[in-house]
Amino acid sequence: MLPLQGIRVIDLSAVVLGPYASQNLADYGADVIKVEPPEGDSTRHTGPSTEVGMGAIFLGVNRGKRSIVLDLKRPAAREALLRLVDTADVLMHSIRPQKLAAIGLDPQALMARNPRLVYVGLHGFGEAGPYRGRPAYDDIIQGMSGSAALMERQTGQPQYFPTIAADKTCGLVATHAILAALFARERTGQGSYVEVPMFETMAAFNLVEHWYGHHFDPPQAGCGYPRLFAPHRKPYRTTDGFLCVMPYTDAHWRRFFTEAGRADAAADARFASMAERTHNIDALYRLAAEILATRSTADWVQTCERLEIPAARVNRLEDLEQDPHLQATGFFRTIEDPAMGTLRFPGPPMRIDRQPLPVRMAPRLGEHTAELLREIGAVQETP
């Protein structure tokens, strides 16, 4: 039995943030009902596909759900949604707060109707601040939260991370916030209102290490963990490729320099402790780059394994499917779909009682509308 079996989640969110969070809940066994407008989630048309409405991005964040189409401009659809809410443990949405009452999703009303409901608002900005209600997408939040500026300190110009970092990070935070609220409900019998604001979430994410000297009053240093901005902090060039290597402890660095025949560096006071290495990080990484350029990638991987220094070759995305560890752990999973043929997915990385979580197909638009309306005793409208 999966941990969330018997939990019903009504998900009105779209794109990546909310769907990623609810897919995590579906992986744990929750019955996730994806409520879509007649045109469907926009990601149904994002990326390659062998079937209209089943785009690659949609497949990546909507596995294991059921889809119901409800046009919430229609009274009958709003009534059907309320009946679904009556059966739900969680309702989550990414609708701007000022628009909720018009479509019958006012949190106070729904939580009064279903006192055990965990009501989740996935917002761009917290409701207590002056930015409340503003629209937000991943790029906007990366820019506002300091992510693009972090890239500027490393590359010389503001850039977004080349991944949907804000949506996915906030989706993970939403997952654990929902689980915490469900755990609290088991103790109290009462649901709760959960707010996950993207701006604050990503600001907190970036400031874990980069608040740095500003923890103190007065500040003991500026913002930004210096090691991460060193120009030579990147995969190191070897004689035949690139290597990721991370000597970290005092012993790691001594072994590394001794192996390289650099007794002078092993004895250098600038590199003797974590504090001194942080102060002299660019000189340290520049020297490491010079040393690592003298041997092949395979040679260094073997050497670092012997020295117990973390190291690995650089994988391209296309390499991951052939990675022997991911193959051995069954990370990539296959679904045979009657219409789309063979589909491959990266599976959930976690295991419960040493068993992998199941991987289920993403739903077609409205695939489960009739089924779900029957479950709640509602009548499907004719177009």
| Same domain for 90 and 51 | yes
DSSP secondary structure, 336-364, as one string: EETTTEEEEEEPPS-EETTEEPP--PPPP
Q: 383: pLDDT confidence band, cut at 50, 70 and 90? A: low
Last residue of a domain, one of 313, 342, 359: 313
| Same domain for 252 and 123 | no
Q: State mean pLDDT over 39-61.
A: 98
> Is 383 among the domain residues?
no
| Same domain for 194 and 160 | yes
Last residue of a domain, one of 279, 313, 347: 313
Identify the pLDDT of residue 102. 87
Instruction: Give the percent of the chain with pLDDT over 70.
Output: 99
The Cα 184–Cα 191 span in angstroms is 8
| Same domain for 174 and 37 | yes
Q: Active-site residues: which are they?
A: 167
Domain hosting 307: range is 236-313
CATH of the domain at 33: 3.40.50.10540
pLDDT tens figures, 282-298: 999 999 999 999 999 99
| Same domain for 144 and 286 | no
CATH of the domain at 244: 3.30.1540.10
| Same domain for 124 and 80 | yes
> Is 187 among the domain residues?
yes
> Is 326 among the domain residues?
no
- Segment among 16-20, 75-79, 95-99, 187-191 with least mean pLDDT: 95-99
| Same domain for 115 and 262 | no
| Same domain for 63 and 31 | yes
| Same domain for 335 and 299 | no
Q: 381: pLDDT confidence band, cut at 50, 70 and 90? A: low
| Same domain for 354 and 284 | no
Is residue 217 classed as helix, strand or coil in its secondary structure? coil
| Residue 224 region by backbone torsions, left for phi larger than 0, else alpha for psi between -120 and 50, else beta | left
Q: 100: pLDDT confidence band, cut at 50, 70 and 90? A: very high
> Is 321 among the domain residues?
no
| Same domain for 335 and 309 | no
> Is 99 among the domain residues?
yes
Residues 57 and 34: beta-carbon distance below 8 Å: no
Please determine, for residue 78, whether its predicted confidence score (pLDDT) is greater than 90. yes
Identify the pLDDT of residue 318. 96
Of 78, 96, 84, give the one whose Cα is nearest residue 8. Answer: 84
Structural domain tally of the chain?
2
Of 160, 158, 144, give the one whose Cα is nearest residue 198. Answer: 144
Give Cβ neighbours of residue 362 (< 8 Å, ≥ 6 apart).
Answer: 54, 58, 59, 62, 63, 64, 65
- The label of the residue with tokens 């979580």 reads 357
Please determine, for residue 158, whether its predicted confidence score (pLDDT) is greater than 60. yes
| Same domain for 107 and 256 | no
Tokens of 224: 């930004």
Q: Give me the chain's average pLDDT, please.
A: 96
> Is 318 among the domain residues?
no
